[in-house]
Structure 1
Amino acid sequence: MSPLDPAFYIIAIPAVIFAGVSKAGFGSGASFVSAAALALFIDPGLALGIMLPLLMLVDVASLRPYWRKWDAPAARGLITGAVPGVAVAALVYTVVDDDAIRILIGTICIAFVAYQWARAAGVLRVGNFRFSRPWAWVAGAAAGFTSFVSHAGGPPVAVFTLGLGMEKTRYQATSIITFWAINLLKFVPYVFLGIFTQATLLADLILAPFALLGAWLGVKAHHMVSERFFFGLTYTLLVATGIRLFWLALT
């Protein structure tokens, strides 16, 4: 399937709306399910190239409702750490093939769900801790790397910010400003690596209104929809997507 194929949009439109809802309403942790879902049907590089401008659009649309509600020291530390993380990921991307990227994205999908299950079951406890700039850099570097290769930088940021005991809106605002900066950092390497193509740009023009719709719905859902319901659906999609990506890569 190609981004130029009309059938592609049967999958892409709901995926992009879902990404907007997740990113604007529930933090960036699960929005990468959309890029993973697209990677089931097109080359992973094309999926990454399509999703980055759309995620950046959602970033901009989401900034105003959460403006200056973020934790500034945490955001600065995470963004600083993301710089080397993005640089290392760009180097790795140049030496791996599409199947390796599928396995990496699939691994991140399954690992993310396993981490969330372990926290919910009490197997893994993330207690509150005081802000530490070195730990912010470590979390930022992990976020920069995973965000570059799969748009899945949310989990490292969530572990760090939730460990600081942030309430929902402060966590959401910190996540948005952090990934606004990380996505800007990723844009230039994506250009030089040829991840953006005429096909991805055309797809972005078609999908942009749906990304904005998802962002609007996400801001509304932040105060109306149960996080348990939303993430339950998300985790189910991530497990199915991760297994399917492994299957595609190995066969």
Structure 2
Amino acid sequence: MTGTARVALVTGAAGGLGGCIAARLHAQGHKVALTDLDAEAAAKAAAELDPTGESAVGLALDVRDKDAFVQARDELTARWGQVHILVNNAGHSKVESLMDITPESFTAVVGTNLNGTFHGCQVFGAYFAEQGYGRIVNIASLAGQNGGTATGAHYAAAKGGVATLTKVFARDLAPRGVTVNAVSPGPQDLPVVHRTVPAEKLAQTTAMIPLGRLGRPEFVADMVVLLSADHADSVTGACWDANGGLYMR
């Protein structure tokens, strides 16, 4: 990392990929707020990074609620003076047959994955623009690029929207010192993947990956760290892929 230590907020950071991203940012010397619907789990994950609470804190944040982002922003500026990095990682994946997806299920999945990213970009994008500096990294997905093979259509559609929102916010915020990028992982070697994707389907998906294995979440986290760096000021509106060769462009 170049420059001084920064303050980062990561959504959906109580575990999984979000927890990995938060840990990588913290290891780079950043102060990190780990936010999650599960406030207790977020606090526990933060305490594992720094038991003193000086450089890591766990906060409750429902990404479906725009005001929750405002509250988190205000709490962090009061605690650490300023926020510099936002990672929109919180997601909701559900495996359902296309014709069986109910309106309620579609709304719920899109509400977390797409609306949540929009709220975060809007609240922190405006704040960063006012400060004249900021880094936003959105976690997209291979499903949003190829229509999804192991997830539901609602998840794929929402993640496709995340990729588009990234470009829209990047274009708008670029003149004011704010970069907005996305990382698009393919299937990752994470507990949530093994838990939500049927074993047979996961085996089929893994067999289709040219590199022959699930992705490493630690590497995805490293991509986020790089896009969050001070010297990443010439990259915006980009979507970096990490899918083992499942999708090439």
Mark yes or no: TM-score above 0.5: no
Higher helix share: 1
* TM-score, normalization by structure 2: 0.30
Higher strand share: 2
Greater relative contact order (Cα < 8 A, sep 6+) = 1
